[in-house]
Structure 1
Amino acid sequence: MHTSKFFVALFLLVFCLSNRVSSQLVNIESQRMQSDSVRFALKSDLLFNYSDNNGNYIIQIGSNITAQLKAKDLKKTYFFIGNYNLIRSKDEEFQNSWFLHVRYNQKLSKLFRLEAFLQNQNNTRLTITSRNLIGAGIRLKFISTETGKAYFGNSYMYEIEQIKEPKQQFYNHRNSSYLSLSQHFKRTKLDLVGTVYFQPLYNNIANHRVLAQLKAELPLGKRLRFSALYNYFYASFPENDTSDYSSNLQLGLTFQI
């Protein structure tokens, strides 16, 4: 690796260092494949780790897949994300979560796009253990240069959420807005994507979620990339006088075709 790439990677590692905890709000922007001419793209990775010390074992499984397919006219895009994460020992389960997301994007002009999506996610370690939603909205590409892009999106979502203790289900109408900025640095070939989400209930803004995220990718070869992803998530539940918050770091290698 060139010296400049090494120092960039080292900087990202130090900057993003934090606890690994999964939230119930996932940044789709960081997963998109920002290409106007490539019809099919796929990213995937798989992690398995097992250690045993005198009968005290820890198992860790992590898998991710992202696929994007564009129609011949490049105006229709089909997008899929799936991942699963498990961390457990002999006596305790630290994480058990999965996430599935399917999205359709229709380009109407250089500025304006329509989107529709379905999502299912589960996490046994959070206040909200299960979340299912369907939604649709608009996406505006208001800045587009050779090295940078900026997007604003707004969607309506109908969601079904389940709380473990006490066991309850909630049926909500929620708004989702986001601002996403991406920048490509030609000299180092570093790609940065920063996104902020805000998701309040229509009838109670105090019940809301916020996600701030920074993603960086640095190519190590034609098919291999170093990636760093940092999230800060906050969720407010004024009805129960509680809240969830988490910080999340993912560092690794990504294979891409």
Structure 2
Amino acid sequence: MLDQKVILITGASGGIGHATAVECAKQGAFVYLAGRKESVLLDIAKNIPNSQVLTYDVTDDSQVKQAFTRIMKQSGRLDGLVNCAGVMLDNSFMMTRVSELQQQLSTNTVSAFTHSQLALRLMAKNRSGSIVNLCSVVGEQGSAGQSAYATSKAALSGLTKSLAKELGSVGVRVNGVAPGFIETAMTQSYQGEKRQHLITSTALNRIGSAEDIAAVVTFLLSDSAGFITGQIIGVDGGLSL
């Protein structure tokens, strides 16, 4: 589905980012693996021959610009961007520090904004491209104890829809994927009754996998989704029902 396409994936060292990189490569894409954990990314790249590691902080504007300059020099194009970098800090509303809100906004929302701006410069030249943002069921429905995280993800959903309306005229599609309870390092702290409650609240009665999300992201990056834009697609096993 992605033969000869060039894809940038932020947060590629995480579970969903890693799985998405593997799936994109299987579908024929050249993948840029972006993140801060260079050793982890290099290990991942060993199993993805058509890939390259870009080590930088997605919240640092100068480092982001340098990464895109490198992509331009080496590939001369960018067909797909997956804004997968994210952080989740659970806390009650009364105990949430403004610094925790700012950290989640910076990583989950602002980085997607800046990456999409720079990606557009490359995509608009070919009047073609696909941006996929990793949103969340929490951003769509809210969640007690996750007010800051929900704020950052709800903002990302708003950005997704606004960009879809604005960038459609230059051939760039923008969509979001809203995962439910997915088995990743980010959700490892969910154990015991809390974990079981989430499972029983999911219609399919199971935890989702990173591969479940990667399959949908890859589809949205492909030409098969050529008439899909501005959508926040829930991949949550029915948790949001």
- Structure 1 length-normalised TM: 0.30
Higher RCO (C-alpha under 8 Å, 6+ residues apart): 2
Question: Which has more strand, going by share of residues?
Answer: 1
Question: Which has more helix, going by share of residues?
Answer: 2
